[in-house]
Amino acid sequence: MQKKMMCLWMLFLIICVSPAVAKDFEILTGDWAPYVSESMEEGGPTPQIIKSALEAVGHTASFKYVPWSRTEVLTQQGKSVGTFPWSSTGQFEETCYQSTPLALQKMVFFYMKDQHSGWDYTGLEELKKYQVGGSLGYSYVHIFEEAGIKASYAPDTETSIKKLIHGRIDFLPESQLVGWQTIKDKFPAEVEKIAASKTPLFAKPLYFMISKTHPDGKELYDAFEKGFALIKGNGVYSQIMEKFGLPQ
């Protein structure tokens, strides 16, 4: 009898401590170097953070690169389980779980020195006097709409910068790191001709947005948060950020 009870107790312990069934979560993202890009080592820092966090709790992640506007819509509608990295918006807060911040971004305005030498951002109202550009799917789209700013949007950062260089727009909001990275990679001859505002449109954390209505959403959110805490505690997160030169 005692032996039987011991066997039952051991079985109970095994059941209680066994991890959940491992899953591979397909997560949407886009090209936004130096935070994430198919051309970067292992996709860049933010995919490595998510992959490491999920692996720490027994899961895996695969990443699908699609246009940013599509990642936003599909995740908010619950057709995709998650997308990253994003700033917080009202729509995301309603439809998604927002992770612990992955990284920080400063959204500044890029402009041509010969057109607006020494310019700095002082407020949304002033922007109404100019032709402002932008890229579809960015969080500032909602900011501009609410402020009554009619911006000229392009499908991606590279196209937006091309419009700036050709004089089709006066100012382009873009992450400080992403903007300079794209200019150096795609338009190296223009680096000295372009400047960025000292005052940002905003400085915000970047999140992993996880659908509240997708069947795997809550499980992914809980797994990521648990794993993220583990990789912060064991130094893996810091190693990833330092490797890519991003502020923590």
Q: What is the per-residue pLDDT across 79-120, written as a single tens digit (0 to 9) for each?
A: 999 999 999 988 999 999 999 999 999 999 999 999 999 999
Q: Is residue 139 part of a domain?
A: yes
| 202-211/152-154 β-pairing | unpaired
- Does residue 1 belong to any structural domain of this protein? no
41 within some domain:
yes
Domain residue limits at 100: 22-104+204-244
One domain for residues 92 and 212: yes
Note whether residue 5 is domain-resident: no
pLDDT level of residue 20 (50, 70, 90 thresholds): low
Question: Is 71 in the same domain as 124?
Answer: no
pLDDT digits (tens, 9 = 90+) for 132-147: 999 988 889 999 999 9
Burial degree of 67 (CB within 10 A; 0-12, 13-18, 19+): middle
Q: Which of 224, 233, 199, 243 is nearest to 101 (CA)?
A: 224
Same structural domain for residues 168 and 223? no
Same domain? For 224 and 196 the reply is: no
Asked if the model's pLDDT at residue 8 lies above 50, the reply is: no
**What pLDDT score was predicted for residue 131?**
98
Shared domain check, 213 and 166 = no
* pTM for this entry: 0.80
The C-alpha angle 98, 206, 191, rounded to 5 degrees, equals 160
Identify whether residues 171 and 208 lie together within a single domain. Answer: no
**Over the stretch 151-171, which tens digit does the pLDDT of each residue have?**
999 999 999 999 999 999 999
Domain annotation covers residue 110:
yes
Q: What is the mean pLDDT of residues 205-230?
A: 98
Amino acid 15: pLDDT: 45
Residues 52 and 136 grouped into a single domain: no
pLDDT at residue 18 is higher than 50: no
Residues 76 and 150 in one domain: no
135 and 216 part of one domain: no
pLDDT at 175 > cutoff 70: yes
Give the containing element (helix H, strand E) for 240: helix 236-244
Residue 228 has pLDDT above 70, yes or no: yes
Is residue 155 situated within a structural domain? Answer: yes
CATH code of the domain containing 143: 3.40.190.10
**Domain tally, the chain:** 2
The rounded Cα 68 to chain-centroid distance in angstroms is 10
